Amino acid sequence: MISGDTNIVDVQLLIQYNVKDVEAFLFKSVNPDTIILKGAAESSLRQVVGQRDIDDVLTTEKEAVQAQTKLLLQELLDLYDTGINVTEVKLQNVRPPSQVQDAFDDVVRAREDKERTINLAQAYEADIIPRALGEAQRVLQLAEGYKQERIARADGQSARFLSVLAEYNKSKDVTRQRLYLETIETILPGVTKYIISAEVGGNLLQFLPLTNDGGNMSLDSLGQSEQ
């Protein structure tokens, strides 16, 4: 039969039925379960397939083709008063002509590869996007925390400076002296200091940068060596 996109397709159909009206089945039609049933089935199937592309009939739309064919077939059988009730319509072998079978097989494989690639891409999207959003949220939170920390530190330094300035304006000499002492307290611990005893008689020869085992040589040992 001819599909909706003018391709030829070979379709085998399985029909299951029972008799819902014995009188009509026996007396109101001739051979309802053979000639009439076959003709009505072919007519219904041709009508359904003729409205669809061949790819739909071969792959994704088989269930829809079966359902629509069953409805049309039942309407025809009721119109002919056959007494037949169609219980199921199943597509068996649906294939293109043998001359182009390989080409259609390639199309089906390409469609399957396409679907598989799409599924993989969607799975990757579902994995990477939440992780990227989570990482972005984490970076934003870190940045916000750093921002608040810097603001708090700046506010604290500013408040400290303003408080020192206020005290300085109240008593400039005392505040200047206190700042000087605080600065000296910070500097002196890192400075090497030499204390020269008055017992050496003011002789500055002892103030030599002599070291002993990585440390400063004491003035007492230096004085003993001179003696």
Q: For 87-114, write each residue's pLDDT tens digit.
A: 999 988 888 877 777 877 787 788 789 9
The residue-averaged pLDDT of 202-213 equals 53
pLDDT > 60? residue 134:
yes
pLDDT > 70? residue 163:
yes
Name 15's Cβ contacts closer than 8 Å, sequence gap at least 6.
37, 41, 73, 86, 88, 89
Average predicted confidence (pLDDT) for the chain: 82
Single-letter amino acid, residue 83: G
**Range in 34-38, 87-91, 110-114, 222-226 with the lowest mean pLDDT:** 222-226
Phi, psi torsion values for 135, nearest 5 degrees? -65, -40
pLDDT > 80? residue 194:
no
Give counts: helices (H), strands (E), the chain: 7, 4
Higher pLDDT, 214 or 54: 54
The residue-averaged pLDDT of 198-224 equals 51
Q: Give the pLDDT confidence score for residue 29 in this predicted structure.
A: 85
Q: Which domains does the chain have, with CATH numbers?
A: 10-96 (3.30.479.30)
pLDDT confidence of 76, banded at 50, 70, 90? very high
pLDDT digits (tens, 9 = 90+) for 137-161: 999 999 999 999 999 999 999 998 8
pLDDT > 80? residue 117:
yes
pLDDT > 90? residue 171:
no
**HEC letters along 35-101:** HHHHHHHHHHHHHHHCCCCHHHHHHHCHHHHHHHHHHHHHHHHHHCCCCEEEEEEEEEEEECCHHHH
Q: Give the pLDDT confidence score for residue 226 in this predicted structure.
A: 42
Q: Give the pLDDT confidence score for residue 166 in this predicted structure.
A: 82
